Copies of this chain bind each other. A is one copy, B any other.
Amino acid sequence: MSTTIDEATATASNTPCCSLTAGPIGAAQAERLAEMLKALADPTRLRLLSHITAQGCQEVCDCDLTEELGITQPTVSHHMKKLVDAGLITREQRGRWAHYSVVPEAFDQLRNFLDLS
């Protein structure tokens, strides 16, 4: 469970070039990319993500997100876990609060893949 982040970042840096124009991709790579995209492919998670990136990865506690999106706290917790497991954001527990920050490498990898050049 705790190795998902490491795996994601590791595979992200291991991938040399994975553009859509570089020929057909294999089943394994498709599976990995689909996992990241699946984590993104939800309106609520996109909004949660945008709230994190908008605040410059500063103090972001789940209670604020709960109020602003109109969803319950377990739902926020569930979505955050999905984003973390996909390697898109990281979670750092400081005292009682959880601080989230994005993983730029993951987004680089996705943008790289979606690049038709």
Interface of A is mostly: helix
| This protein's copies in its complex | 2
* A63 touches B (CB below 8 Å): no
- Render A43-54 as a binary contact track against B, CB cut-off 8 A, 1 for contact: 110110111011
* In contact, B102 and A107 (Cβ under 8 angstroms): no
* In contact, A27 and B54 (Cβ under 8 angstroms): no
Report the Cα distance A13→B44, complex, angstroms. 24
Contacts of A31 in B (CB 8 A): 43
Residues of A within 8 A of B (CB): 20-27, 30-31, 33-34, 37-38, 40-44, 46-47, 49-51, 53-54, 68, 102, 104, 107, 110-111, 114-116
